């Protein structure tokens, strides 16, 4: 349904998006995930037609809608796509019904059909009781529903969301995630959703593109990213808590792990060992495979305890059944398993 081919976007000498290629199947829920400034919103704006690519092409359902090599693009209004902004962008002088009706008027839908479609989407978003109110008379969560209703009313084949839940409180964000997934199933539209929140990505997406510095680090299902991260960035950005990455360097005939001599067999003399948090244990007893760390944080998570330690800039997190009788600031031993879950080069590529 959606093809992105060697897409680049430059602002002067700065490359915001660099050589991105993705093939997104029809009806997928794609999340563009990454930290602030990674290029995900710029990529979304190119999909929406608000930015012209510097290079590369965007194809919707077999039709090229942007071609950076020829400096040509289809008008945003003619792409059969809809964009939901982070700020809602509702017309303040129009009622809820008027906001939803506006794009249908623009496309010259007959009045009787407009009324039926408005009622349909207001019922779908469960806001029919708000039809005669104005944006300043409803809550932020209700305004977001109106913005979504307005976007889906013309039945676009591609839905684009630019961090639509970031202005909502934590409880409402969870509720709206459920509503967006229900909406996705109901409409069947191919959806592209931008967020920096990896919990949103992992719970909502059928496919995730993890971005950093304008490039896609990995594209796959949420399970792919969790079970088989392809780069150190993905391994430490995705997951709750994220994976631990520990430097391993050659030390005479052996190796130092996090600055301490240990018996390991790394694939190179200078690399990174990844340990999942649930594989690490915490105790007061030192052994050949422990790292002494300052206890900096503990918190309950799903009936277990997340323990975080810090030492010389190295931060480790473990998920344990119980913590030793120590206090924040005390030294505890983080015990590593005999072998890491996987290895990465110092530049971030997965080894082996």
pLDDT tens, residue by residue, 21-77: 999 999 999 999 999 999 999 999 999 999 999 999 999 989 999 999 999 999 998
187 and 69 in a common domain? yes
Domain boundary among 181, 199, 229: 229
Q: What predicted TM-score, i.e. pTM, was given to this entire model?
A: 0.89
Domain boundary among 175, 194, 229: 229
**Has residue 133 been placed in a domain?**
yes
Domain boundary among 229, 260, 284: 229
155 and 258 in a common domain? no
**Has residue 237 been placed in a domain?**
no
Cα–Cα distance, 336 to 288 (Å, whole number) = 9
Higher-confidence residue: 273 or 322? Answer: 273
Which pLDDT score is estimated for 153? Answer: 92
252 and 223 in a common domain? no
Cis preceding-peptide flag for 352 (omega within 30 of 0): no
Q: Is the per-residue pLDDT at 175 higher than 90? A: no
Residue 281 bridge partners (DSSP): 335
Cα–Cα distance, 275 to 298 (Å, whole number) = 19
CA distances from 173 to 11, 179, 244, 253, 328 (A): 33, 10, 28, 53, 32
CATH at residue 93: 3.40.50.300
155 and 97 in a common domain? yes
Which pLDDT score is estimated for 73? Answer: 95
Question: For residue 153, which of 82, 206, 88 has the smallest C-alpha distance?
Answer: 82
The kind and range of the H/E element at 226 are: helix 222-227
187 and 252 in a common domain? no
220 and 293 in a common domain? no
313 and 288 in a common domain? yes
How many domains would you assign to the chain? 2
CATH at residue 323: 2.40.50.100
The kind and range of the H/E element at 314 are: strand 314-320
DSSP state of 346: T
What is the overall mean pLDDT for the chain?
92
Range of the domain at 260: 244-351
């Amino acid at each position: 349904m959606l093809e992105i081919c060697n897409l680049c976007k430059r602002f002067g000498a700065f490359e915001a998006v660099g050589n991105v290629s993705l093939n997104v199947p029809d009806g997928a829920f794609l999340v563009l995930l990454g930290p602030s400034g990674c290029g995900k919103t710029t990529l979304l704006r190119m999909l929406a037609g608000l930015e012209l690519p510097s290079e590369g092409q965007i194809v919707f359902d077999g039709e090229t809608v942007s071609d950076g090599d020829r400096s040509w693009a289809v008008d945003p209004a003619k792409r059969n796509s809809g964009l939901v902004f982070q700020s809602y962008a509702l017309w303040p002088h129009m009622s809820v019904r008027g906001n939803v009706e506006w794009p249908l008027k623009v496309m010259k839908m007959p009045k009787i059909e407009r009324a039926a479609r408005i009622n349909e989407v207001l019922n779908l978003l469960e806001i029919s009781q708000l039809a005669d109110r104005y944006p300043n008379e409803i809550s932020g969560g209700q305004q977001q529903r109106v913005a979504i209703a307005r976007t889906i009313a013309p039945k676009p084949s591609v839905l684009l969301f630019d961090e639509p839940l970031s202005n909502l409180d934590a409880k409402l964000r969870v509720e709206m995630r459920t509503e967006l997934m229900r909406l996705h199933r109901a409409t069947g539209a191919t959806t592209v959703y931008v967020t920096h929140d990896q919990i949103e990505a992992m719970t909502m997406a059928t496919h995730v593109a993890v971005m950093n510095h304008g490039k896609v680090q990995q594209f796959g299902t949420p399970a792919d990213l969790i079970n088989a991260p392809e780069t150190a960035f993905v391994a430490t950005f995705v997951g709750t808590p994220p994976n631990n990455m520990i430097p391993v360097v050659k030390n005479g005939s052996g190796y130092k792990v996090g600055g301490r001599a240990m018996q390991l067999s790394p694939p190179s003399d200078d690399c990174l060992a990844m340990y999942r948090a649930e594989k690490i244990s915490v105790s007061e007893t030192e052994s050949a495979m422990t790292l002494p760390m300052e206890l900096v944080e503990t918190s309950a998570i799903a009936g277990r305890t997340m323990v975080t330690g810090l030492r010389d800039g190295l931060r480790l997190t473990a998920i344990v059944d119980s913590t030793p009788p120590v206090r924040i600031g005390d030294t505890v031993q983080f015990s590593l398993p005999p072998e890491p879950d996987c290895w990465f080069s110092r530049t971030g590529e997965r080894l082996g």
